[in-house]
């Protein structure tokens, strides 16, 4: 097969490497059992949570209370998502198309992470303003993943799926402005962290 390496994000303990062919059968069985439980449990739960937050909508992160209320009022919908996602993940596992996790591996550039968030927020605001895809309680529906369905049409007759709409925003003049804003926000956060560290050190020094 192949060798698998794992490096914890905190770096404690260094990097661990496993030769799959040399693992005892009992270890393989337990790893598969643990991986299956994680994939059909934690991974699916994370995807369902993303769907819930998307359905609730709004520019800000929904509160725990709002999420709990949504869960109580939409049990059938959530059960449907869970069942569908579990079958999807299980089929990926059997077909060898399961996605590789980056946990412990290279992390995405924080500027790009912030840029993606700003683009998502702008997209949601645009969809809401256009009155498109209105869901329960008049909230706009913004799918957690691209379903291939049209989510927005402009006045020129162009239609966009979720991914196409996000890509169009990123490539537009508005996207360039959002990227500049993302850079400013990340730098500001980094400066605030550095300043806080210096103050903490100074406080420790004065208290000594």
Predicted local confidence at residue 144, as pLDDT: 67
- The yes-or-no verdict on residue 33 having pLDDT over 90 is yes
CB-neighbour burial class of residue 130 (10 A; exposed 0-12, middle 13-18, buried 19+): middle
- The yes-or-no verdict on residue 206 having pLDDT over 60 is no
Residue extents of the structural domains in the chain: 1-106, 108-208
Per-position DSSP letters for 183-199, written without gaps between them: HHHHHHHHHHHHHHHHH
- In angstroms, the CA 73 to CA 71 distance is 6
- pTM for the complete prediction? 0.48
In this predicted structure, which of 4-13, 16-25, 55-64 has the lowest mean pLDDT?
55-64
- The yes-or-no verdict on residue 105 having pLDDT over 50 is no
- The yes-or-no verdict on residue 140 having pLDDT over 70 is no
The more confidently predicted of residues 45 and 196 is 45
- The yes-or-no verdict on residue 83 having pLDDT over 60 is yes
């Amino acid at each position: 097969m192949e060798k698998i390496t794992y490096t914890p994000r905190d770096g404690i303990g260094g990097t661990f490497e496993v030769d799959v062919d040399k693992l005892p059968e009992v270890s393989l069985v337990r790893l598969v059992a643990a991986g299956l439980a994680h994939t059909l449990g934690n991974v699916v739960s994370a995807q369902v949570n993303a769907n819930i937050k998307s359905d609730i909508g709004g520019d800000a992160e929904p509160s725990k209370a709002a999420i709990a209320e949504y869960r109580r009022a939409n049990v059938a919908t959530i059960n449907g998502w869970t069942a569908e996602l579990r079958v999807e993940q299980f089929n990926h596992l059997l077909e060898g198309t399961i996605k590789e996790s980056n946990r412990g591996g290279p992390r995405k550039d924080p500027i790009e992470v912030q840029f993606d968030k700003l683009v998502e927020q702008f997209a949601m605001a645009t969809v809401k303003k256009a009155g498109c895809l209105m869901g329960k309680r008049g909230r706009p529906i913004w799918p957690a993943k691209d379903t291939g369905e049209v989510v927005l049409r402009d006045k020129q007759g162009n239609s966009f799926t979720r991914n196409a709409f996000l890509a169009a925003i990123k490539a537009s003049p508005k996207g360039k402005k959002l990227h500049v804003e993302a850079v400013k926000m990340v730098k500001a956060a980094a400066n605030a962290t550095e300043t806080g560290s210096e103050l903490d050190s100074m406080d420790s020094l004065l208290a000594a």
